[in-house]
Amino acid sequence: MSNTNDELIRIDSVEGTGCVVRGDDVDTDRIIPARFMKVVTFDDMGRHAFEDARKAAKGKHPLDDERFSDAAILVVGQNFGCGSSREHAPQALMRFGFKAFVGGSFAEIFAGNCTSLGLPCVTLGDSDLAKLMGTVELDPAGKIEIDIRTRRLTCRAGEMSVGIPDGVRHQLLEGDWDATRVLMAAGDRIEKTAAALPYSPTA
């Protein structure tokens, strides 16, 4: 997904039902095992999200739970997305259908990769996170709304304030999360800078 040639996509809120994957330090190898990196497009990546964990859970993994099948918001624990920097991880989750992540905390590179795909990662304090996880598991059809502008999350358990870094919030609200589009905006200043370089790649 990218909006370079279309109009700006400003993301000021995400709405939908949730799905909970419990546990801390869920690394990118678990999100998308390394063997699925031997591919030429990300198209098929959604199918392989959490593949090994889902196989091991024999159909009992939250991603295979029918009650969560329309979920747009993935609720996770601490340090989600740690390990290798592979962009295949957020790509897999996005293509599986998630549009935002709520968790205790996120690994820096994972969160950065998410931003560049327009997927907000917002954080909650321990007790709010526990409440949200509980509500989603009890009432999977319950709507969750994340308002990026006001930094509020609303669900059946009530209203909570979420964390999101200022810079990222700005990028999402302004539609600046798509780096290609932002960089294209420099127009021929790119060619001018290139022409002024003291080197060119041909001998």
Q: How far is the CB of 27 from another protein (least distance, A)?
A: 10
Question: Helices marked H in the chain — which ranges?
Answer: 28-31, 51-56, 88-96, 108-115, 126-138, 166-174, 179-184, 189-195
Provide the 8-state DSSP code for 115: H
Binding flag, residue 198, another protein (CB under 8 A): yes
CA separation for the pair 195, 72 (Å, rounded): 46
Q: Which of residues 4, 69, 150, 161 is near another protein by CB under 8 A?
A: 4
Q: Residue 19's beta-bridge partner residues?
A: 74
Considering only 38, 58, 66, 127, the residue that binds another protein (CB under 8 A) is 38
Restricted to residues 77-106, the positions that interact with another protein (CB under 8 A) are: 85-88, 91
Other C-beta atoms closer than 10 Å to the C-beta of 199 total: 5
Binders of another protein among 48-67, rule CB under 8 A? none
Nearer residue to another protein within complex by CB, 51 or 87: 87
Residue 56: CB minimum distance to another protein, A: 13
Minimum separation from the CB atom of position 183 to another protein (A): 4
Check binding of 188 to another protein (CB under 8 A): no
Q: Which residues contact 163 (CB under 8 A, 6 or more apart)?
A: 122, 123, 124, 151
Q: Which of helix, strand or coil describes residue 41?
A: coil
Q: Which two tokens stand for residue 86?
A: 């592979």
Residues binding another protein (CB under 8 A): 2, 4-5, 29, 34, 37-43, 85-88, 91, 109, 113, 116-117, 167, 170-171, 174, 176, 179-180, 182-184, 186, 189-190, 193-194, 196-203
